[in-house]
Structure 1
Amino acid sequence: MRDLRFPRDPSDLTRRQRLLLAFLGGLVTVVLVFTATYYWGMRTLEGRPRTPFQALNTVIETLTTTGFGADSPWETPWMNLFVALMQVTGVVIGFVTLRVLVIPLFERTPLNLDDRLSPKDDHVVVAEYRRDTEVLLDELEALDVDYVLVESDEEEAKRLSDDGYQAINGDPEDAADLERASIGKASLLITDAGDRTASVVLTALDLNEDLRVVSFTPSTRRKAALAEVGVDRSVAPHALIGARLAEKATTPVALPESVGDDVAIREILVRRGSHLHGVRVGDSPVAAHPELSLVAGWFDGELRIPPSSGDRLTPNTVLVVAGPEGVLDEVANDVAGVRRPAASRGRVVVAGLGEGGQAAVDALPEEVSATTVDQRADADPDVVGDVTEPETLREADVEGASALVVTVDDDATTLLAVAMARSLADDLEILVRVTDEEKASPAVRAGADYVLSVQRVCARLVAAEVHGERVMDPVGQIRLVRADAAPFAGKTLAGASDPEHGWTVVAVVRAGDVRTDQSTTIEAADEVVVAGTDRSIRHFEKQT
């Protein structure tokens, strides 16, 4: 609408304002000329005089194509030609009016994205997001979490809003823009604003001091500073994923000697293309099998002990299952892709010593050694070289390692490194971080056993925070212990576990015979084999 406000000084007119004035002047001139001509023609040629106002009315009716009043038809050829000219001129004027006035007017009217927002209360405000916004918002919508995204890029905000997301254009450092997102009624603020994070957080807390704040940061070194300004939890995605990959590569299972020959533990990987993709854990062959116990599961980097029956199997899901060796082999083949635990967990090769690689090294247990590889000598790696070159991988003795963790920054380099490592060591466990969600599938095809994308893990972190779940606790070892069965007497093997505290009864030992059938009723004289983390096993031992 600003274009319709004309300045007092004609020299200050914009190009569009000059064009608009020329159009209006031309339109008035055409109407007056046609009116005068029609007035003369009706009097002189047709012999039916009209007043000037009647002539004007007929011209307007003709130009606007609304009709010709009572004057039609005309008798003389010249008047018929003139009326036809007025009709064509009216059509031309209509097109010119649309192009010069109507269309530009609507194009310049700002779209108010706020009008597309549903009423908000106890929702999540996302103030900027730099890691594939759709992945995050899809995760929130899948969980039926109410949110508003404040996006500073106008085109990006409009695109997201057009796609149906709850997004508005605004500056998250501006209190007025945060108020448009109903920050005062929000319960959680997610911010990924880089160097502007402190400003965004302080502005938001001024408007809602009860707000819980989660911030993404490129480095763990900023966590202390962010805590000072009011951030409740700061997450460095690359460091977090590096630690998760290291935990996944080295989380062992401790088997009591008296059970080791009868109960096996197997990691079963749900590969891409598996017919079980999207199936609930409770409906899978693992959960349905009467002789198997589901001990744990890795879901996009999160270890759940035990997983919920409602969790869905996705590519990259790794299930930790206990049961007889032969049964495990049979079910593993059905799940489409099995990887036996590495014979040794003594050494891990870490490729890429950035934030993620260093976090992976730090997360390794004391008994596990690391061989680090990086092109940069100033990173002080054990091997300096290109991880995509076979000579570099051989120097790092990747063939003799139990696992390779790849955390290089370039996804193209990651894919080539995975393929090269797989060509050198077919039984090597390869765990990979990618910075683009779309590269997760190619990484698996290149030979990776386990892939985490920055976007997916960040989205899952946000979803967990919304539900108040602790998502950054370190993972303990998975252990199997043998215990007196008296406290469980009368219960079935399937009903004796305690999912809330994270331990699972996987077998019953009766007169030296190990039984894994989940329908077995436990007797007081039996012994039970229980699986869980160090923490959950300690809780079990105290409880029993």
Structure 2
Amino acid sequence: MRELRDIEGLHPRDLTQRQRLLVTFVVSLGVVVLFYTLVYNWGMQALENRPQSVFRSFQTVIETMTTTGFGADSPWATPVMNVLMVTIQLTGVVIGFVALRVLVIPLFEQTPLNLAERLTSKADHVVIAEYQRDTDMLLNELEELDIDYVLIESDIEEAKQLSDDGYQAINGNPEDRADLDRATIERASLLITDAGDKTASIVLTALEANEDLRVISFTESTRHNAALAEVGVDRSVAPHALIGRRLAEKATTPVTVDEWSEEGEIDIREILVRRDSPLHGVRVRDSPIANHPNLTLVAGWFDGELRLPPSPDDELTPNTVLTVAGPENEIDEMTTEIGDVRSRPIAPPSEVVVAGVGEGGTAAVEALPPDVSVTTVDQSEERDPDIVGDVTEPETLRKAGIDDASALVVTVDDDSTALMTIAVARSLSSRVEILARVTDGEKTRAAFRAGADYVLSIQRVSARLVAAEIHGEHIMDPASQIRFIRADAAPFAGETVAEVRRDTDRDWTVIGVSRDEAVHTDERTTIKADDDVFVAGSDEAIQEFERTVATS
């Protein structure tokens, strides 16, 4: 065996613990066999009166210990010899178990496992070269969408565990062309890298094998985007910066009301879906909000993406924020009926505190509108924050103006620090909107319990981003302004509000009808030519409405 060959020529002090164990086993086995051989040979002569050669006795001992038989020596007449044979048999069983543990099992454990043999046939698939976030979450997202993939994982134990769990994973070094070939890189359509400084090497090696490959790279900073583009990366994503911008956009997505004299008649609210809400897991089309005759679902935030309006097929998950328009009393009744949701009026924040001025915090500050007053807080003077201090300390947040702030964006690097910051901020102000970033997707629920209003997880957003990119969807685009305008109802004369809302091919929707100094939001209301309608949508959608509908 290889381990025995490795022992040759070594000084005992140079042996590893396993090698010493192997030597001890082999020597002990030889001593035991020799002892039984001599005792058995003596017994056959002195007790059984059947003298024989020591080699015949050696054969019988081996047959007995290995339980393969006794040869022609059985049976034995004397009790002592029978006891001796039983003892030899039991010793053989014990030695067999020891040999299994010391020799056989380790031998199989050290045999190279070719995980590529478990892969299904691949073509136009995704190759993932390392993934430093929650691998299970990403792979589950891909499998739910029926996207074919191969993950190359450098940690052999992690790769084996993923493969044993049924994922399409192999162990290897993605910088090595041979390992990329095992993932059939030449037939892949997309390469995803999350390998830090090894990214450029991986991309260049992969493009040598498949020059038509599209490449997405996760990075810790946006500083390397230009360099990665030079080596062939089609899109570089810095999750920390990306989420920082999304939180800032969520905190300050403006709402404007144009020519709306009866604006007091209709309220605009954000409804946050909690984990224990009965809305959890419900499709938009099946939700009581979408089916309410007097309420209009204008927009929704889904894992950092603003959708105007939401698709009927979108699933309401914890952390979904819905923008709803309608009579104030109707919204209050709806939120009371549903339970486990949080409703708040929409108001553009004028003062925002950003806790943590790393990659994410800097991106958040840059994404905030110029008319918003921003105060940054960080423990490191080198990051040049407005307030230097521990964001988990009440005095630091008070100094930053948490009492008067309309929003707090938490982008600290550690999840534990983020949760403590959220809890402290909520204890200081029940009014401030708290938007936070966490790394671990499982910490999202804890962040809500600590008092956050909106939470994005790097792990979950990264997984969703990959899935959207593979489908060619544009996710995480800059948030648009939500606008509400009053327009002539003549183009809709004769139609009910429900019929106008039912057209899902456009990005604007009718909230209500103004008639006789009253606003009617019941979807059964028939629109008349001399009415006015209130229309909601993004800036772009309202501009399209004004070009194509309002002027017709």
Q: Tell me, yes or no, whether TM beats 0.5.
A: yes
Q: How far, CA to CA, are the matches of 1:29 and 1:425 in structure 2? A: 79
* Pairing 1:3–2:3 present: yes
Residue 529 of structure 1 corresponds to which residue in structure 2?
534
Higher mean alpha-carbon deviation, 494-503 vs 533-542, is at: 494-503
Question: Which has the higher mean CA deviation after the structures are superposed, 27-36 or 511-520?
Answer: 27-36
Matches within 5 A, 1:476-515: 476-497=480-501, 498-515=503-520
Change (3 A) 1:386 1:29: closer
Structure 1 vs Structure 2 CA RMSD? 3.0
Q: Secondary structure at the match of 1:400?
A: coil
CA contact (8 A) 1:342 1:402 kept: no
Distance 1:24 1:432, change over 3 A: closer
Q: For each residue in 1:61-85, what CA deviation from the matched residue of structure 2 results, as whole angstroms up to 9, or x when unmatched?
A: 4222244456543223343234234
Structure 1 residue 268: Cα displacement: 0.4
The yes-or-no answer on 1:404 pairing with 2:408 is yes
Matches within 5 A, 1:213-228: 213-228=215-230
Q: How many percent of aligned residue pairs carry the same amino acid?
A: 66
Query: Is 1:61–1:68's contact at 8 Å kept on the other side of the alignment?
Result: yes
Deviation at 1:450, TM superposition (A): 0.9
Q: Which residue of 1 aligns with 2:465?
A: 461
Among 195, 198, 202, which residue is 2:197 paired with? 195
The equivalences for 1:125-524 within 5 A come to 125-256=127-258, 257-333=260-336, 334-341=338-345, 343-497=347-501, 498-524=503-529
Residue 208 to residue 523, structure 1, CA distance change in 2 (3 Å):
farther
List runs of 5+ in structure 1 lacking aligned partners: none
Unaligned runs of 5+ in 2: none
- Residue 477 of structure 1 and its aligned partner are, at CA, apart by 0.3
Q: C-alpha displacement at 1:359, in angstroms?
A: 1.2
1:111 is matched with 113
- Please tell me whether the aligned partners of residues 154 and 169 of structure 1 are also in contact (alpha carbons under 8 angstroms): yes
Are 1:342 and 1:429, in contact at CA under 8 Å, matched by a contact in 2? Answer: no
Work out whether residues 276 and 335 of structure 1, in 8 Å CA contact, stay in contact via their aligned partners in 2.
no
Q: Is the 8 A contact 2:268 2:346 kept in 1?
A: no
1:540 has 2:542 as partner:
no
How far the C-alpha of 1:258 sits from its partner, in A, is 2.9
Residue aligned with 2:240, SS: helix
Tell me, in whole angstroms, the C-alpha distance in 2 between the residues paired with 1:519 and 1:199.
62
Q: Which amino acid aligns with 2:213?
A: L
Deviates more, 1:424-433 or 1:506-515: 506-515
State the shift of 1:173 in Å: 0.9
Aligned residue for 2:301, secondary structure, equals strand
Give the deviation of 1:461 after TM superposition: 1.0
Q: Distance in 1 between matches of 2:21 and 2:460?
A: 52
C-alpha distance 90-253 of structure 1, shift in aligned 2 (>3 A): same
Report deviation, 1:197: 1.0
Structure 1: distance between partners of 2:106 and 2:520? 78
CA shift at 1:533, angstroms? 0.7
Corresponding letter in the other structure for 1:430 = I
TM-score, length of structure 1 as denominator length: 0.89
**CA offset at residue 292 of structure 1?**
1.4
Deviations 1:233-257, CA, capped at 9 Å, x for gaps: 1111111111111111111222232
Distance 1:395 1:48, change over 3 A: closer
- 1:524, distance to aligned residue in structure 2 (A): 4.5
> How far did residue 191 of structure 1 move?
1.0
Deviation at 1:410, TM superposition (A): 2.7
Contact 1:492/1:519 (8 A) holds in 2: yes
Alpha-carbon separation, structure 2, partners of 1:108 and 1:37: 39
Preserved CA contact (<8 Å) 1:268 1:335: no
CA distance in 1, matches of 2:412, 2:46: 90
**Contact (CA 8 Å) 2:160, 2:170: kept in 1 or not?**
yes
Given that 2:305 and 2:477 are in contact with CA atoms closer than 8 Å, whether structure 1 keeps it comes out as no
Shift of 1:269: 0.8
In structure 2, the partner of 1:97 is 99
Cα pair distance change 1:85/1:362, threshold 3 Å: closer
| Offset, 1:43 | 7.4
AA paired with 1:128? E
CA distance in 2, matches of 1:354, 1:109: 46
Q: Deviation at 1:337?
A: 2.7
- Comparing 20-29 and 198-207, the one that deviates more: 20-29
Shift of 1:429: 1.1
Cα 1:181/1:34, change in 2 over 3 Å: same
Question: Which stretch shows the higher mean deviation, 217-226 or 498-507?
Answer: 498-507
C-alpha contact 2:271 2:343 (8 A) present in aligned 1: yes
Distance apart, 1:155 and its partner CA: 2.5
CA distance in 2, matches of 1:68, 1:38: 12
User: Is the contact between residue 501 and residue 539 of structure 1 (CA under 8 Å) also seen in structure 2?
Assistant: no
8 Å CA contact 1:323, 1:516 repeated in 2: yes
What CA distance in whole angstroms lies between the structure 2 residues aligned with 1:361 and 1:64? 76
Structure 1 residue 394 displacement after superposition: 2.9
| 1:310 partner SS | coil
Distance 1:489 1:174, change over 3 A: farther
Q: How many residues were matched structurally?
A: 542
Q: 1:178 to 1:380 in 2, by over 3 A?
A: same
**Larger CA deviation: 81-90 vs 21-30:** 21-30
Q: Take 1:507 and 1:135, find their aligned partners in 2: how far apart are those partners?
A: 42
Q: Assess if the C-alpha contact under 8 Å between 1:128 and 1:191 holds in 2.
A: yes
Whole-Å separation in 2 of the counterparts to 1:21 and 1:394: 69
Which whole-Å CA distance do the structure 1 matches of 2:101 and 2:450 have between them? Answer: 54
- 1:47-104 CA deviation, whole Å, 9 max, x = no partner? 6788999877654542222444565432233432342343233223323432342122
Structure 1 residues 109, 260: closer, same or farther in 2, change over 3 A? same
CA distance in 2, matches of 1:422, 1:302: 25
Contact 1:270 1:335 survives alignment (8 Å): no
Distance in 1, Cα, partners of 2:419 & 2:47: 86
Q: Secondary structure at the match of 1:496?
A: helix
- Distance, in Å, in 2 between the alignment partners of 1:530 and 1:140 is 37
- More moved, 474-483 vs 96-105: 96-105
Query: In 2, Cα distance between the equivalents of 1:530 and 1:494?
Result: 13
> C-alpha distance in 2, partners of 1:503/1:222?
38
Contact 1:147–1:166 (8 Å) recurs in 2: yes
